[in-house]
């Protein structure tokens, strides 16, 4: 690969997969997965800040969302977004690690 060439979601140069970009079944790119991982970490941090009575069911649900992300990253990401909104309404300031 030439220096400075970016790799697209298909593993080849970005120009090679342009024809399929925008298609509903096109695989998400690396940026999507990096953002997804960041949001999963954030959800776990926020869940840990919840009171114990609320935290355990939220963590169980978060594990279910994590499993869904493995099977269908796009739909799992949507579920994660909804869950982050719910957690945000329950905790003001998540702990940092």
Q: What is the pLDDT of residues 62-90, one digit of tens each?
A: 999 999 999 999 999 999 999 998 888 77
Domain that holds residue 35: 27-89
Q: Residue 22: inside a domain, yes or no?
A: no
pLDDT at 94 over 70: no
Q: Residue 13: inside a domain, yes or no?
A: no
Q: Which own/partner pairs from 86-93 qualify as long-range (CB within 8 Å, at least 24 positions apart)?
A: 87/43, 87/46, 87/47, 87/50, 87/58, 88/46, 90/50, 90/54, 90/58, 91/46, 91/49, 91/50, 93/49
Q: Residue 85: inside a domain, yes or no?
A: yes
Q: Residue 8: inside a domain, yes or no?
A: no
Q: Residue 64: inside a domain, yes or no?
A: yes
* Number of domains within the chain: 1
Torsion of CA 5, 8, 10, 13, to 10 degrees: -20
């Amino acid at each position: 690969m030439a220096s400075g060439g970016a790799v697209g979601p298909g593993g080849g140069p970005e120009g090679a997969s342009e024809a399929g970009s925008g298609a509903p079944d096109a695989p998400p790119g690396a940026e999507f997965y990096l953002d997804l991982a960041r949001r999963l970490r954030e959800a776990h941090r926020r869940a840990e800040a919840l009171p114990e009575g609320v935290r355990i069911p939220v963590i169980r649900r978060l594990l279910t969302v994590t499993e869904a992300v493995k099977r269908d990253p796009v739909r799992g990401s949507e579920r994660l977004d909804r869950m982050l909104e719910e957690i945000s309404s329950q905790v003001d300031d998540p702990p940092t690690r």
